[in-house]
């Protein structure tokens, strides 16, 4: 039997996003965490098929639209990658919004020709509100950029000393939609460039595992959000207008080509904790490929008893292709593979 899955592919600041538009059943559940658990149990073989080789690769990212779980939500979103299903993805919000508007999946140009379009998403990490700036080329709508109001972001634990080999590395644990271990690249002894990607992948995984050995990382108000999703290496910016350069090693040694949306929020939470972030002042975050996201502090709140910020993250995405993937039940590699 042949299983067909249709997708629209895009990239956000260099990072891919494969949006499934047909071929996967609708996840069940009253909450987005329940829908995520349903997908983990029943759709994971298909996730592997479209994320891993030969249809994808180690660094591929994907998304699936679901029914919203709130009365005023436009859609729910589940995110997927090489290891499983994540709780939130900033570059994915930008990409999904771009695809949804340009291809009429959520918003239709028949609703008028506004300069901006507002979209409300339910994610496993919580409500995310996005605003797309659009232009028109005749009858064709084009998304210029997307900014989104992220979930409250906070520092879980600052300056945790992690031992990797003979080196002790200070690590800030922060949440920006997922939990990250944030380290200074110089302190870790590895520069942020393409030539050192194998070292960054390996060290990023080692740091994440060691943090989880030392601490039980659980969201203070949502026990369903647990564990270290990725390691963010930071360094001085190379672009004249940027403030920091970074690379994020996520899931099972995936490398984010973009500045990482939820990672940018987590880095902003750390900078805020250090007193280095001012309200409504742009924070320009640079990626390993020289692209940028812009962050701003919209609001200061508390999560549990921890001070937190509500960050806004902005960037742009572009559609790169449309695909119909064929999965043959007799194919011994139908669920994909990794090297």
Which tokens sit at 296? 């701003």
Position 191 scores a pLDDT of 97
Active-site positions read: 89
Position 139 scores a pLDDT of 85
Which tokens sit at 156? 């879980």
Cα 51 vs. chain centroid, distance in angstroms? 15
In angstroms, rounded to a whole number, what is the distance separating the alpha carbons of residues 145 and 102? 12
Domains and CATH numbers, the chain: 2-148+318-328 (3.10.310.10), 153-311 (3.10.310.10)
Cβ-based neighbours of 275, under 8 Å, separated by 6 or more: none
Q: What is the pLDDT averaged over residues 112-123?
A: 93
Position 320 scores a pLDDT of 99
> Looking at the predicted structure, is the pLDDT value of residue 50 above 80?
yes
Q: Say what the pTM is.
A: 0.96
7 close to 21: Cβ distance less than 8 angstroms? yes
Q: What is the pLDDT of residues 83-113, one digit of tens each?
A: 999 999 999 999 999 999 999 999 776 667 8
Length of the chain: 339
Closest by alpha carbon to 156, among 184, 170, 176, 183? 176
Which tokens sit at 277? 């972030």
Q: What is the pLDDT of residues 239-285, one digit of tens each?
A: 999 999 999 999 999 999 999 999 999 999 999 999 999 887 899 99
In angstroms, rounded to a whole number, what is the distance separating the alpha carbons of residues 199 and 192? 10
Which tokens sit at 285? 């975050």
- End-to-end CA gap in the chain: 27
Which tokens sit at 327? 């999965």
Per the rule left: phi > 0, alpha: psi between -120 and 50, beta: everything else, 175 is: beta
Cβ-based neighbours of 230, under 8 Å, separated by 6 or more: 178, 180, 181, 204, 208, 248, 249, 250, 251, 256, 260, 263
């Amino acid at each position: 039997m042949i299983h067909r899955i249709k997708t629209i592919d895009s990239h956000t600041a260099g990072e891919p996003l494969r949006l499934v538009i047909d071929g996967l059943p609708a996840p069940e559940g009253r909450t987005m965490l329940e829908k995520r658990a349903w997908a983990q149990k029943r759709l994971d073989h298909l996730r592997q098929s479209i994320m891993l080789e030969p249809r994808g690769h180690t660094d591929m990212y994907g998304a699936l639209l679901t029914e919203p779980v709130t009365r005023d939500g436009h859609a729910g979103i589940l995110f997927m990658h090489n290891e499983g299903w994540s709780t939130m993805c900033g570059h994915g919000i930008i990409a999904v919004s771009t695809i949804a508007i340009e291809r009429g999946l959520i918003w239709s140009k028949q609703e008028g020709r506004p300069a901006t379009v507002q979209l409300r998403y339910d994610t496993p990490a919580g409500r995310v509100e996005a605003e797309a700036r659009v232009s028109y080329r005749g009858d064709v709508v084009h998304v210029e950029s997307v900014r989104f109001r992220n979930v409250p972001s906070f520092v879980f634990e600052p300056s945790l000393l992690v031992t990797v080999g003979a080196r002790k590395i200070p690590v800030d644990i922060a949440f920006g939609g997922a939990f990250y271990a944030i380290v200074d690249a110089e302190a870790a002894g590895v520069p942020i460039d393409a030539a050192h990607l194998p070292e960054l992948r390996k060290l990023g995984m080692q740091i994440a595992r060691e943090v989880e050995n030392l601490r039980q990382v659980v969201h203070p108000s949502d026990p369903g959000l647990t564990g270290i999703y990725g390691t963010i290496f930071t360094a001085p910016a190379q672009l004249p207008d940027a403030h920091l350069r970074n690379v994020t090693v996520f899931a099972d040694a995936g490398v984010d080509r973009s500045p990482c949306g939820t990672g940018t929020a987590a880095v902003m939470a750390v900078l805020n904790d250090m007193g280095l972030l001012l309200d409504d002042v742009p924070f320009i975050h640079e990626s390993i490929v020289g692209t940028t996201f812009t962050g701003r502090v919209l609001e200061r709140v508390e999560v549990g008893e921890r001070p937190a910020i509500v960050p806004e993250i902005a960037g742009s995405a572009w559609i790169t292709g449309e695909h119909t993937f064929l999965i043959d039940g007799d194919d011994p590699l139908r669920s994909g593979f990794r090297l």
